[in-house]
Structure 1
Amino acid sequence: MDDARPLPPVSPPPASPSGRRAALDRQTLKALSAPSDAKGLRQLAGHLALLALTSASVLWSGGSLWLAPALIAQGIVLVFLFAPLHETIHRTAFRSRRLNDGVAALCGFLLLLPAGYFRAFHLQHHRFTQDPARDPEISGPPLSTRPAYLLHVSGLPYWGERLVTTWRHAMGRTPEPYITSRLRPAIVREARLHLAAYGLAAGAGLLAGGETLLLLWVIPALIGQPVLRLYLLAEHTGCPQIRDMLANSRTTLTAAPLAALCWHMNLHTAHHAYPGLPFHALPAADRLLAPRISLRASGYIAVQREIWRRLTPA
C-alpha cells in the first residue's frame, strides 16, 4: 500500500491557510477539472512505451553485465504503474469511465493491488488525511526509527501485507471499516479473481520452462519497490496531522522525467486540495496554489535526508 506511517508530526507553519479549499475560484477549478481521453491515452502510451523499451533491454541483455541495470530500469518503470493506477481509481485519467476502470484493473493486477480495494482504501485516505484514528495510511505505530525506515523502504512489508490482505479478502474476511456492505461482494470477488489469475500465470510460466515471467515482472517488481516506497514517503511523512489540505501534504519538486513517470503526482498538495483534478492539470494548479502551499521540498533526496535526520538510531 502507499502508506508511510509518518514520523511524529511537526507543527504547521503559522502562515498556512485556514481553510481546506479556500484557494481556487469556481471558474478556474471548472476549467482545470475537465478530464481528457486523448491526454490520458498519450500519457499512458508514453509509460507503456518506456516499459516496452526496458522489457526489451532485459531480454536483449541475456546473461551479460547489462542485465542488472536493465532489471533496475524495468523495476522502476513497472512499479510506477502505481501512478496510472492511482489516477484511474480517482477516475480522472480519462473521461471514459470504462477506460479508467480497465487501466486500473490492469495496473492493480501487476502491482498486487486490486483496484476496487485500493479505491476504497485510498478514498478513505482522502476523506481523513492525516487523521491518526481514521486515515488507513497512517494506521499503526509511527515510522520513528532508522531500522524501521530501512525495513519499510525495502518493500518487504508491502508485499507481505498485499499477500495477506488479498488472501483474507478472497476468504471473505473484510474487517476494514471503509469496505462497506455494498462494496464487500465486489472486493471479495476481485481478490479471488486476482489469486486465480496469479495461479494461472505461475502455472503458465512453469509449463513454458522459461524465465520470462521472473525477468520481466517478479524480479523487477521486487527491485523497483524500494524506489516507489521512497517516492511515497515524501507525500505525507512528517507533515502536520491537521485537516488543512494545503499543509498536511508535501509537494516535491523534481526533474521532468520523474514528474512524467509519476504522472505529476509529485505535486501532491494540489492533488489533495482538489482530488478531482486530472494529472495534466496539476502543474497549472500548483502554480496557482504555490503561495499557499506550506511544504515544498526541493527534491526527493532532500526529503529523505530530512526524514532520516529525524529518525532515532534504534
Structure 2
Amino acid sequence: MSTQPDMSEPLWYRVKLEKKTMKKLQGRTNWQGLVWFGTYAGALGFFATFAVLDVLPVWARVVSFLAYSTVYCFSEAILHETHHRTAFRSSWLNETVHYIAGLLAFKEPIRDRWLHAGHHTYTNYPNIDPEIVLEPPPHFRFLAMDLLRLRFVPSWLWDSVRNMFGPDVLAKRFVPVSEHATIRRSATACVAVYVAVIAAAVIFQTWWPILFVFAARFVGSGLHAWITLPQHVGLATEVPDWRQNTRTILTNPINRFLAWNMTYHVEHHMNPTVPFHALPALYGKIEHDCPRPTHPHGQRGGKCFRLYGGKKKTRAISSCDPFPSPRRKP
C-alpha cells in the first residue's frame, strides 16, 4: 500500500475583490522595501555597536545584545516576503536581500522558497504541508524550545548540509528536478559562509562572530516566535479555507514593522501577491468576511499556546476560535 500523500491541489476559498482594487493592492515599489530593510540593517548595526563598546557597563551591553538578537531573528520575516518576490519591484534587489535573509535565518533560500509555496498550496494539510510547526498531539515541553528555535535552527542548518550532497525528501517532493543542482550550489555557499564565520572567530580570537551570527539566532527568537507560532496552531486541518486554518494577529506597530506585516496572515494567504506594505489595506477590504483577529497576549492567544499542554490524547486538534458565519460587508 502506497504511503505517498494525495498531492492534488485543494480548491481554496477567497474573498472576492474587484480587479481594479486588486491591481492597486498588488503594486510593488523599491523604496518601501529599502526603508524597511534599511531600518532593519541600521538597527542591527546600532545595537551591535553598543554591545561591543567596552566603555559601557555590562548590563547595557547585555541589553544591547538582546535587542540586536531580537531584531536579528526577524530575518525570517524578510526571507518570507522575498520568497514571494513582493518586497521590491526590482528582481535583482529582491533576490539579493532574499539570500542575505536566508543566511541570517539559517535557511537555504531557494529550497525554502519552494517549500513555502507548498505551504501555501497545502496549508495545514497533515503529511503534506512542509511548514507545519506543531504536529499533533501537542506538548507544552516543546513551547520553550520552539520559542528559542532550539528545534528548528539546527534542523534548518542540517537541511543545508544535507542538500549539499543532493536533494532531501522535501526537496524531491516540492522542488523541480531542474532546480536541484542550483540548490546544491546554494546550500554549499550557505554552509561555507557559516564555516567562514567560525574561522574568523578562531583567527581573530574573538567570540563576537559566534555571538552575532549563531548565538543571537537563538537568544532573540522569542518575540518573532511568539508572534508567528499562533498563525496556524490549533486551527482546522484539511479544510480549503484560510479563514479556518490561519490567523491574523493583532499586535503593536513596532512588531508589525519588524514582522513586515505578516501578522495580517489570513490576508496574506488569500492574496500572496499583495506586498507587505499593502496588507493593512487588504485587511480593511476583506475583514467583513473573516474571523476576528487574535491578540497573542489575549485570552484567545493564550488558548493557542495552551494547546502545547499535551493533554489531548487524540491526534486531532480543535480550533482555538469558533469560526463565525461570514459577515456581509456593510
TM-score (norm 2): 0.84
Contact 2:249 2:265 in 1 (8 A): yes
- TM-superposed CA distance for 1:243, in Å, is 1.1
- TM-superposed CA distance for 1:216, in Å, is 2.4
Among candidates 127, 138, 148, match of residue 144 of structure 1: 138
Count, aligned residues:
297
Unaligned runs of 5+ in 2: 1-10, 312-330
| 2:258 pairs with 1:265 | no
Contact 1:133 1:139 in 2 (8 A): no
Contact 1:84 1:107 in 2 (8 A): yes
- TM-superposed CA distance for 1:310, in Å, is 3.5
Q: 1:279 to 1:143 in 2, by over 3 A?
A: farther
Q: 1:31 to 1:293 in 2, by over 3 A?
A: same
Taking the TM superposition and a 5 Å limit, the aligned residue runs for 1:136-175 are: 136-138=130-132, 141-142=135-136, 144-175=138-169
- TM-superposed CA distance for 1:66, in Å, is 1.7
How far, CA to CA, are the matches of 1:57 and 1:259 in structure 2?
25
Contact 1:116 1:187 in 2 (8 A): yes
- TM-superposed CA distance for 1:161, in Å, is 0.7
Among candidates 245, 250, 263, match of residue 247 of structure 2: 250
Among candidates 277, 282, 293, match of residue 280 of structure 1: 277
Partner in structure 2 of residue 128 of structure 1: 122
Q: 1:165 to 1:301 in 2, by over 3 A?
A: farther
Contact 2:133 2:229 in 1 (8 A): no
Unaligned runs of 5+ in 1: 1-17
- TM-superposed CA distance for 1:97, in Å, is 0.8
Shift >6 Å, 4+ stretches? none
Partner in structure 2 of residue 296 of structure 1: 293
How far, CA to CA, are the matches of 1:145 and 1:297 in structure 2?
22
The range that moved more, 18-27 or 90-99, is 18-27
Q: Percent identity?
A: 25
- TM-superposed CA distance for 1:286, in Å, is 0.6
The amino acid that maps onto 1:296 is: P
| 2:56 pairs with 1:28 | no
TM-score (norm 1): 0.88
Higher relative contact order (CA 8 A, sep 6+): 1
How far, CA to CA, are the matches of 1:139 and 1:33 in structure 2?
29
The amino acid that maps onto 2:60 is: W
- TM-superposed CA distance for 1:21, in Å, is 1.7
How far, CA to CA, are the matches of 2:296 and 2:105 in structure 1?
25
Among candidates 80, 92, 104, match of residue 98 of structure 2: 104
Contact 1:143 1:149 in 2 (8 A): no
Q: CA RMSD in A?
A: 2.0
Contact 1:174 1:184 in 2 (8 A): no
- TM-superposed CA distance for 1:71, in Å, is 1.7
Where 1:58 maps in the other structure, the secondary structure is helix
